[in-house]
Amino acid sequence: MSWLLAALYDPMMKAAEDACLAAWRAELLAPLSGAVLEIGAGTGANLARYPKTITRLVLAEPDRAMRRRLAARAVGRAREVIGAAAENLPFADGAFDFVVSTLVLCSVRDPAAALAEMRRVLKPGGRLVFIEHVAATDNVGRLRWQKLLEPIWKPLMGNCHLTRRTAEAIRTAGFALDEVKRESLRKTIPIARPSVRGTAVR
Ligand SMILES: C[S@@+](CC[C@H](N)C(=O)[O-])C[C@H]1O[C@@H](n2cnc3c(N)ncnc32)[C@H](O)[C@@H]1O
């Protein structure tokens, strides 16, 4: 099924990109510089938004069908595309100034292990930049629907969980949260709308 999800991903996300996601990506990625690692880079939705101040950009994507689209989009640019999963990153401690995760921590097999790895490869003072959809903690009715539909949604959508509390997981992993915004990811299915975005310091 992963080839189908990879093929449908960009058309499926278009309305949300146009409504808010593209602007959120642009705003969060504009200040980046130095060495940057993006985990779960998917089809490369962030690629066009990385500024020229970046000296090294590594795009990690474990899914082969997604990675094929990512590599095609990144072709001709000075970018490294690798197949690593976030839980096992093939880099030395402190190798990066920034790690980027957009709509990925909902899908990773083990969020705590992924966050520990992301923290390990960041320099002290380095930043995790994130946009994630999360549990509807302030809307009991929507949270109930998320819990009800998650067992069906997960296998159809590449292990995407609807009820993760990702900001809290980032803090538990030892990051200091900074500039966090919670907002509706407009023009997506209502169960995937609650979102959190911002930066967290190692
Ligand atoms: C919803 S897509 C998001 C793609 C892209 N980051 C974006 O912002 O559009 C989720 C991505 O996470 C990837 N993924 C799933 N499990 C992962 C893991 N353990 N480590 C890294 N990436 C993972 C999937 O292959 C997929 O490309």
Range of the domain at 160: 2-201
Atom of ligand 1 nearest to the CA of 61: 22
pLDDT in tens, the chain (202 residues): 689 999 999 999 999 999 999 999 999 999 999 999 999 999 999 999 999 999 999 999 999 999 999 999 988 666 899 999 999 999 999 999 999 999 999 999 999 999 999 999 999 999 999 999 999 999 999 999 999 999 999 999 999 999 999 999 999 999 999 989 999 999 999 999 999 999 999 9
85 CA distance to ligand 1 middle (Å): 9
**In this predicted structure, what is the pLDDT of residue 96?**
98
Number of domains the chain is built from: 1
- To 10 degrees, the CA torsion angle through 6, 7, 10, 15? -120
Residue 151 belongs to domain with CATH number: 3.40.50.150
**In this predicted structure, what is the pLDDT of residue 1?**
65
76 CA distance to ligand 1 middle (Å): 23
Q: Return the ∠ at Cα 4 (arms to 101 and 157), rounded to 5°.
A: 50
143 CA distance to ligand 1 middle (Å): 23
* CB atoms inside a 10 Å sphere around CB 24: 20
